Amino acid sequence: MTGFPRISLTLSLLVPTGASSQPRNVEALYAAGVEALQRGQPYEALEALNSVAAVNPSYRDVQILLGQSCLLAGLTRLAKRHFEQALAADPRNGQAAVFLGLMLYQEARYFEAVEALDRAHSLAPGNPYPLIYRGRSFLKLGRAKEARVDVEAALARSPSDPTARAALAEIELGEGHFEKAEELLRSVLEDEPQDFEARTLLARVLFQAGRPAEAVPLLRAVLETIPDRTDLLYLMAQALLRSGDTEAGRATLDRFKELSAQEERIRVLEAKVNTDADDIESRIQLVRLLLEQGQGDLALPHLAVLQEVLPTDPRVHALGEQLERLRNRQ
């Protein structure tokens, strides 16, 4: 599981401007939603902004803000719907186009992401992110030359942008230029020491360069914050084993296998509830597994269905309490 890249960097684009003729309570709800989103509280933002959209679905940038809130809450399908609705209402809306392209990249839908980011770049030519993530999409598609052209163009506009420098490092890594990739990533971490993406990528560089022992502390620091990332657990296991720490490597590999099996079970249950919306038992099992993995954002929409269908069921009530405890810890 991965987090959405640097959403906060574009939040400033959506500061509300101008007067409104809407009822005062709608303005207050809108302001509360914007404030909650800027504080990093997506659930509170969704509650306020959904109330605004219920009155006027085209009110200011409410669809984009709802999309952002959904992304922060991990509700990517709903986010896509809001961004598409914003673009349907205003096909020249560069903000919506940028967010849609970023979301498609995050979902690993790289062909679609390239198309969406083409549009985003034409609508928002001053924003470096369409170029950065179109470049990253090209890289994922094996088109390294096109990736480099886009990322270097983004760097020419924003030389200090950490996302662009990390993207160039990813290209250098893909071409086997380990020293160049390491230099770029260490410069990013000097500016932003808590950048998990750069730290993870640097660990990959060191591992592939034959320096697994140096990758271990970087991966350990990331896994302290994101303990259930299966791709990082596998890399950590390999780094430990190649460093000679066999016991810790095998324990980490066992943890990777355990979580991978849970993720496969989640995929099976998701397929069941998507095929049969009335399969309540599968939905309950799905919510329970997601909560056990700490994925409250993904459990929330399924729990909402259960609370509507079985409002007095003690199992549903217990899952609701479990979600609340999880949210309070985050």
Q: What is the CA radius of gyration of the chain?
A: 21
Kindly indicate the confidence band of residue 151, based on its pLDDT and cuts at 50, 70 and 90: very high
Tell me which H or E stretch contains 37. helix 24-38
**Cβ(197)–Cβ(5) below 8 Å:** yes
pLDDT in tens, 204-244: 999 999 999 999 999 999 999 888 889 999 999 999 999 99
What local confidence, expressed as pLDDT, does residue 16 receive?
42
What local confidence, expressed as pLDDT, does residue 330 receive?
58
Residue 146 CA to residue 191 CA, distance in Å, equals 28
pLDDT in tens, 40-94: 888 888 889 999 999 998 888 999 999 998 888 777 778 889 999 999 999 999 9
Q: Is 162 left (phi over 0), alpha (psi -120 to 50) or beta?
A: alpha
Helical H segments across 56-195, by residue range: 62-72, 76-89, 94-106, 110-123, 129-140, 144-157, 162-174, 178-191
Sign, Cα dihedral of 264, 252, 222, 113: negative
**Cβ(233)–Cβ(223) below 8 Å:** yes
**DSSP string covering 232-267:** HHHHHHHHHHHHT-HHHHHHHHHHHHHHHHHHHHHH
**Cβ(16)–Cβ(31) below 8 Å:** yes
Q: How many CB atoms lie within 10 A of CB 8?
A: 12
Total-model pTM: 0.77
Distance (Å) of CA 301 to CA 53, 60, 79, 280, 292 = 18, 26, 13, 13, 16
Residue 79 CA to residue 90 CA, distance in Å, equals 17
Bigger pLDDT: 225 or 173?
173
What local confidence, expressed as pLDDT, does residue 101 receive?
93
Sign, Cα dihedral of 102, 104, 107, 108: negative
Helices 314-329 & 296-309, crossing angle to 10 degrees?
150
Distance (Å) of CA 12 to CA 9, 65, 153, 163, 197 = 7, 11, 23, 17, 22
